[in-house]
Amino acid sequence: MKLNRGPRAPRRTLWQRLSAPFVEPYARYQHADILHAIRLGVAVVAALLFNKVSQLPHGEWTTITVFIILGLLQYQGAIYTKAKERVIGTLLGILVGLFLVWLSQGLGEYLGLYYVLIGLISGVIGYYAVKQLGYIGLLTGITMCMIISHTAGEIGVDGVYRALNVLIGTLIAVLATLILPLKSTLMWRFLLASNLEACGEIYVKVGSHIIDHTAASASDDDALSLHALPYRHHYTSPMIESEQTMSLDQGIPIAQDMVASLKQINKRLLASRPHLAATARESGIAKETLEHIQRTHRNLIGTVDLLLTAAPRLAEIPIDADNRELLTHYQHELTQAMQHMAAVLRSPNNELFRPITRIQVAEYPSVQQLTFEWQGYFWLTQNLQAQLQSLSELLQQTEPQWFAASGLRYQRREQRRIHAQGGESKLDL
């Protein structure tokens, strides 16, 4: 089963291939780890050069802050959130610390009360850090301790300089995100698009594996006597059998590249989860809606896994010509739907998600006459159809938000690039 993908885009020049990660968001997504390393290196060097020029005391806190904010975070939504929390926590810590330093100057012989007050404030900060403030509360306490931990006569000057360097480091980290920006909303879109496309490719191979072998090994007369075949249970997930070749009593073995592809799909599914919170902040989509999309995404992958599991056994069970033709059309339409959804998710244009398919298995009584295994396969395919329809509707409802959050510059640049390459053929499936 082959899909018409439309005319191919012209081959890229060497310069276009080398510059793609720097100008095209999708290529940037594919090389995110390398670009993150480049950005972090540039930010640290910029912080060191600033320290050298400014000669501010305790300048090491500038580079430390850059590493804390950028070290484990790649995407703008998460970085901005961390930077905002660090600024708020630092400013609150400065205010609380300076208040305590000022208070300590007039206590005289009642200095013991000063330490009691520090303990009480620290406890309150810790309580709210656990309850709701989180990182803000932690930074408030740390900055406060920087300022109050001073020697006589310094009035917390060292602590203030440290806090100032933290703010400068935060600013440098935020500015660094403008170098090769990686938006969580775009990354979430691209991960979902890659998984839909990969699921479509596996589904095509599963269908070809089954249809090709049943067409070669069965006749219509064989199909009429299918009810006499005993049911045999074979239900080992290909993820468990990934390192082994399926034996003949389990059916006709599947190609191991499908199992490897399924592993990559699961890796992308796990990689998409950390983007949900940042995508919700960038786009304004409710977290519950994003969780619903993620859950449907996960269920869809599970259904493809089950269809892959059924393939070896079904490849040796004949099916009549009419139902084989129905299955071929059904699989073709669902595969095209997955590829179309992936293309819309990657598109810089505000496209509509099309209906999945008009085929309804309930309208074909002949399916009810098939063996238990084949009925199960059609049932799983119906599930896949329902999951794709649900995912399509959720994405269509939220499209104005995630499309706007992807960035106007990205959309315009990609539109120009696609126009120069002769159109967006994958949307014409």
The CA distances from residue 18 to 41, 42, 151, 181, in Å, are: 20, 19, 55, 17
User: And the tokens for 226?
Assistant: 């299918």
Of 52, 284, 50, residue with least CA distance to 170 = 50
Buried b (16+ CB within 10 A) or exposed e, 310-334: bbbbbbbbbbbeebbebbeebbbeb
Distance CA 321, CA 243 (A): 35
Of 98, 96, 91, residue with least CA distance to 125 = 96
Distance CA 201, CA 204 (A): 5
Distance CA 239, CA 229 (A): 28
- The pLDDT score that the predictor gives to residue 422 is 53
Distance CA 290, CA 394 (A): 9
- The pLDDT score that the predictor gives to residue 411 is 57
- The pLDDT score that the predictor gives to residue 394 is 93
Half-sphere exposure for 369 (CA within 13 Å, toward CB): 12
Which residue matches tokens 């219509």? Answer: 220
Which residue matches tokens 């599991």? Answer: 309
- The pLDDT score that the predictor gives to residue 421 is 54
Of 392, 413, 403, 388, residue with least CA distance to 203 = 388
pLDDT tens-digit readout, 39-51? 889 999 999 999 9
Distance CA 60, CA 66 (A): 10
CA dihedral of 48, 54, 56, 59, whole degrees rounded to 10? -10
- The pLDDT score that the predictor gives to residue 302 is 93
What is the pLDDT tens value at each position of the chain, 429 positions in all?
A: 444 444 454 565 666 666 555 656 666 666 778 888 888 899 999 999 999 998 888 888 899 889 888 887 777 777 888 888 888 988 898 888 888 888 877 776 677 888 888 899 889 888 888 887 788 888 888 888 888 876 544 555 777 788 888 889 999 988 888 777 777 888 899 899 999 999 999 988 888 877 776 655 544 444 434 343 333 333 344 443 444 433 334 567 777 888 889 999 999 999 888 888 888 888 889 999 999 999 999 999 999 999 888 888 877 778 888 888 888 888 888 999 999 999 888 877 767 788 777 777 767 777 777 888 888 888 888 899 999 999 999 999 998 888 887 765 555 555 565 556 555 444 443
Three-state secondary structure readout of the chain: CCCCCCCCCCCCCHHHHHHHHHHCHHHHHHCHHHHHHHHHHHHHHHHHHHHHHHCCCCCHHHHHHHHHHHCCCCCHHHHHHHHHHHHHHHHHHHHHHHHHHHHHHCCHHHHHHHHHHHHHHHHHHHHHHHHHHCHHHHHHHHHHHHHHCCCCCCCCHHHHHHHHHHHHHHHHHHHHCCCCCCCHHHHHHHHHHHHHHHHHHHHHHHHHHHHHHHHHHCCHHHHHCHHHCCCCCCCCCCCCCCCCCCCHHHCCCCCHHHHHHHHHHHHHHHHHCCHHHHHHHHHCCCHHHHHHHHHHHHHHHHHHHHHHHHHHHHCCCCCCHHHHHHHHHHHHHHHHHHHHHHHHHHCCCCCCCCCCCCCCHHHCHHHHHCCHHHHHHHHHHHHHHHHHHHHHHHHHHHHHHHHHHCCHHHHHHHHHHHHHCCCCHHHHC
Half-sphere exposure for 409 (CA within 13 Å, toward CB): 8
Distance CA 47, CA 60 (A): 9
Half-sphere exposure for 303 (CA within 13 Å, toward CB): 24
| CA of residue 416 relative to chain centroid, distance | 26
